[in-house]
Amino acid sequence: MRKDIRIVFMGTPEFARESLVKLYEAGFNIVGCFTNPDKPSGRGMKLKASAVKEYALEKNIEVYQPKKLRNNEEVINTLKELKPDIIAVVAYGKILPKEVLEIPKYGCINVHGSLLPKYRGAAPMQWAIINGEEKTGITTMFMDVGMDTGDMLLKEELEIKEEYNLEDVHDKLMVIGANLLVKTIDKVVDGSIVRIPQPEEGTIAPMIDREMTKIDFNKNAREIFNFVRGLSPFPGTYMEMENGKKYKVFDVGYVVDEKIDKTVMPGDILLMAKDSLYIRCKDGYVIIKKIQPENSKRMDIKAFMAGNRLNMMDKFI
């Protein structure tokens, strides 16, 4: 019976909340929830609880928010007192040390947003889109001390359609992952799960930082298209002019044009009209659709062009 399975859940953002909801609704006995400490948010910088904490409190699940797990005797003692059969981990944001991994009866199970062994690491969804993958998915796995290197359990694929951006892929994988976690735990408990060791070789999906979000117009049109949608709506990409002005970009189209004027260089404005902004790239041009000037709000290109101060001599670097 699911109600006899003691689960400690570890997760933080909305992506993890969906898994917690599914476990709760499936009738598992969730004996504790670990999530990251509250963070300052908004203009007032008031402390804001994670999505996981909010749901846990709503359902009267005990919440724990340690700053660290490693070398934390209080955490180890708490987990031992909770006596979990399984620790379920979804986008927690902390690495589980060996002493934590060894506590639960059945082990620690992770929901990872890629088809392992591809895209191990912190940003698997982003890199799958940026690299132009046609599919991604969810892999559940037993955790070990490595970074997403544990034995694989269940997988489910998702086609990355042309019109999907990061938000679309995130929301679809969030639901797939939650449902797959329930299936995985059921199979682990009844002994029907099959463990598939990962090969040593795999690709890494490192965390995205601000310095990595600038659009490079020396790249191909398709590469820029994938780059923008892979980081939209958060953190968003940006383009920078020679004068230092920066504009966030959230949506683009693209055209590959072998006959394009070779005297127009990558980063040059190719066409500018009341509802259009085309910028030259390596093998064609990028069509800017949604943009956000500095100290302004996000807007479609027509609204932007109505009040812009660009001219055809401007260049993006």
Q: Nearest to residue 195, comparing CAs of 116, 287, 301, 265? A: 116
pLDDT score recorded for residue 263 = 86
Residue 311 within a domain: no
Which pLDDT score, from 0 to 100, does residue 141 have?
A: 98
From the CA atom positions of the chain, what is the Rg in Å?
A: 23
pLDDT of 309: 77
Domain count, the chain: 2
Same-domain check for residues 105 and 143: yes
- Is there a single domain that holds both residue 88 and residue 157? yes
201 within domain boundaries: no
- What's the confidence (pLDDT) of residue 41? 78
Q: Given this model, what pLDDT does residue 260 score? A: 83
| Secondary structure class of 285 (helix, strand, coil) | strand
- Which stretches of the chain are assigned E, i.e. beta strand? 6-11, 29-34, 39-41, 46-48, 63-64, 86-90, 108-112, 135-142, 152-159, 237-240, 246-256, 269-273, 276-280, 284-293, 299-300
Do 179 and 220 have their domain in common? no
**292 & 215 share domain:** yes
Give the side-chain half-sphere CA count within 13 A for 313: 1
173 and 241 co-located in one domain: no
Contact 82, 103 (CB under 8 A): no
For residue 244, the model assigns a pLDDT of 93
196 within a domain of the structure (yes/no): no
pLDDT of residue 13: 97
pLDDT tens, residue by residue, 222-276: 999 999 999 999 999 999 999 999 999 999 999 999 888 888 999 999 999 889 9
**Residue where a domain terminates, one of 156, 190, 224:** 190
Residue 146: half-sphere exposure toward Cβ, Cα within 13 Å: 15
Low-confidence residues in the chain, pLDDT < 70: none
Distance CA 153, CA 180 (A): 10
Position 256 scores a pLDDT of: 95
Task: Please give the pLDDT value at position 298.
Answer: 95
pTM above 0.85, yes or no: yes
The SS3 call for residue 277 is strand
Residue where one domain finishes, among candidates 155, 190, 225: 190
- Assigned token pair, 194: 């099959």
Mode of pairing for the β-strands spanning 276-280 and 284-293: antiparallel
Task: Tell me which residue range forms the domain holding 112.
Answer: 2-190
| Beta-strand runs (E) in 79-204 | 86-90, 108-112, 135-142, 152-159
List, as one string, the DSSP characters of 208-225.
Answer: P-GGG-B--TTS-HHHHH
Q: Are residues 54 and 152 in the same domain?
A: yes
Distance CA 150, CA 101 (A): 11
Q: What is the pLDDT of residue 307?
A: 86
Q: What is the CATH number of the domain that holds 271?
A: 3.10.25.10
- Final residue of a structural domain among 160, 190, 220: 190
- Helices 166-190 and 14-26 meet at what angle, rounded to 10? 30
pLDDT at res. 297: 94
Q: Is there a domain that residue 200 lies in?
A: no
The C-alpha atoms of residue 112 and residue 149 are separated, in whole angstroms, by 11
Write down the pLDDT at residue 140.
Answer: 98
Per-position DSSP letters for 22-60, written without gaps between them: HHHHHT-EEEEEE-PPPEEETTTTEEE--HHHHHHHHTT
| 249, 220: one domain | yes
